Structure 1
Amino acid sequence: MANTSGNIDGSPHQPTNGINSKFPSPPKKPSSKRPPGSRSKWSQCSTPEKFCWLAAIPFRTLLCLVNIFCFVFAYFGFMLPVLWARKLWPRFYWGYEGKLYMWLQAFVAYWGYTADYDVYEYGDDIRKYAAKGRVLVIVNHQSSADVNILFTVLQTKGVATRKTIWLMDVMFRWTPFGIIGQMHGDYFIRQGKASREKELINLKKHLRKVFWDRDRRWVILFPEGGFYYKRKEDSQKYGRKHGFPHLEWCTLPRIGAIKAILEEVGPRGDDSDSGVDNGRMRKVRSGIQLLKDAVGEIREKKHIKETRPPITHILDVTIAYPNGHPLSILTLCFGTREQC
């Protein structure tokens, strides 16, 4: 016989709480356990796995440090023999340098891969913009692991991977990546009200000098100007004071650098007219001039310097971490977070 629970009249039994069922049950305390993806690896390991993990930490950390510093020396070791080409054959020089720069990004991106942290991309297919377009990439900024995430994503973006300009804080200028970035043509911006106008002028000069001469495709920056958790309160205070929306999961962007980039290398109103004029000039070129142009294309992309193709698209990238708990450089080096 089935054993069922109910009242005498057949209605389902109502659970009681204490003496009188009219009183509501007390609210449940929020769980102190973190959801999957944001827990420490230590909390999820068995005892033998913990010993193995502790033993591997020094070797993993040493591997990451040796990895990056050895690559810096290798980078300069490979660049010194071709320094002659910087003036004589710029196209070859910057193509060669771009390959090394791309491999540096792959070395750093490998930190997350070896710690079992996977990166997934969602959204529009941007491969066509990576192949030919010139793009301004704006990214939210939560932690020091954001750069590693972008390095990982860029590995599948073809030629754009080695033809980028990064805008970074001046504090990174003399880090291993910053030293190589200076040779590559990245820009290190100094923040603060005192130097704001001067920095924007210098940024425009830098873009004028580098963007077309080195055939750069993507300009990457973090418009929030700092880590989210550091700027959140100041951003909300500024928003209340000036009537901007209350933002909980991002901060108000600083548009000074974006405006300077678009003013210098963004769309121009006279593109159609210049295209007609260039077409007329091509018709009257002599054979000797065509030969000079062909040599100029081999030596350097002369048509890029002459036509100065502008940025045509803005790519908005949002980096999200499991349950809102960002990784960090230390997490990547030590592998302290569980697989996510």
Structure 2
Amino acid sequence: MALLRYARIVWRTAFAVANNIYCIPAYVVWMMALRLVRPVLAPLYWRIEGFMFHWLLAMVSMWAWTAGYEIVESGDEPAACGTRRTLVLANHQSTADVPILMAAWNPRPGVLPNLMWIMDHVFKFTNFGIVSVLHQDFFIRAVSKLSAVMFL
């Protein structure tokens, strides 16, 4: 039984690593190639980018599925907002939350392609950073009062 559990852990880890190795570069190559037509065909570019971004995040949502998590949601239904712009604030505790959030939003049409992240600038330098830059997510520098005083 323990051997089966460890084999599953190795398989899931290899699956996540393989996803990062082939999905992110594929997205980046296609978006860089299509970037040439963006000034002329911006709506088409953003539609293709949204489609590819959705599939990229669907891969992330599969990590929650392969872990056997069942997603239970509470609160208002985001679809009730219709076509209006909506700000969803999640009590995001760690990077482990990301697959859960993606699994919850993946089946909703039009959510993932239009999802914008606000994240610390340090994430620009991760494997997903180039995707976030191309998707035009927001990067912030979180500065505490203590660090602001130290740099004065």
Q: Larger Cα Rg: Structure 1 or Structure 2?
A: 1
Q: Secondary structure at the match of 1:151?
A: helix
* Structure ranking higher on relative contact order (CA contacts 8 Å, 6+ apart): 1
Q: 1:192 to 1:80 in 2, by over 3 A?
A: closer
Matched, 1:89 2:24: no
Find the partner of 1:172 among 111, 123, 141. Answer: 123
Matched, 1:159 2:110: yes
Matched, 1:133 2:84: yes
Aligned twin of 2:98 = 147
Matched, 1:113 2:65: yes
| 1:298-317 correspondence to structure 2 within 5 Å | none
Cα displacement (A) at 1:62: 1.4
CA distance in 2, matches of 1:173, 1:81: 21
CA distance in 2, matches of 1:148, 1:60: 13
Aligned twin of 1:13 = none
CA distance in 2, matches of 1:81, 1:107: 22
Aligned twin of 1:305 = none
Q: Secondary structure at the match of 1:103?
A: helix
Could you tell me which runs of 5 or more consecutive residues in structure 2 were left unpaired when the two chains were aligned. none
- Per-residue deviation, residues 100-121 of structure 1 (Å, max 9, x unmatched): 1111111011011011111112
Could you tell me which runs of 5 or more consecutive residues in structure 1 were left unpaired when the two chains were aligned. 1-48, 197-340
Cα displacement (A) at 1:191: 0.9
- Per-residue deviation, residues 200-254 of structure 1 (Å, max 9, x unmatched): xxxxxxxxxxxxxxxxxxxxxxxxxxxxxxxxxxxxxxxxxxxxxxxxxxxxxxx
Q: Which has the higher helix share?
A: 2
CA distance in 2, matches of 1:168, 1:125: 24
Matched, 1:188 2:139: yes
Percentage of matched positions with identical amino acids: 34
Normalization by structure 1: what TM-score? 0.41
CA distance in 2, matches of 1:80, 1:185: 13
CA distance in 1, matches of 2:10, 2:144: 42
Amino acid of the residue matched to residue 158 of structure 1? P
Runs of 4+ that moved beyond 4 A: none
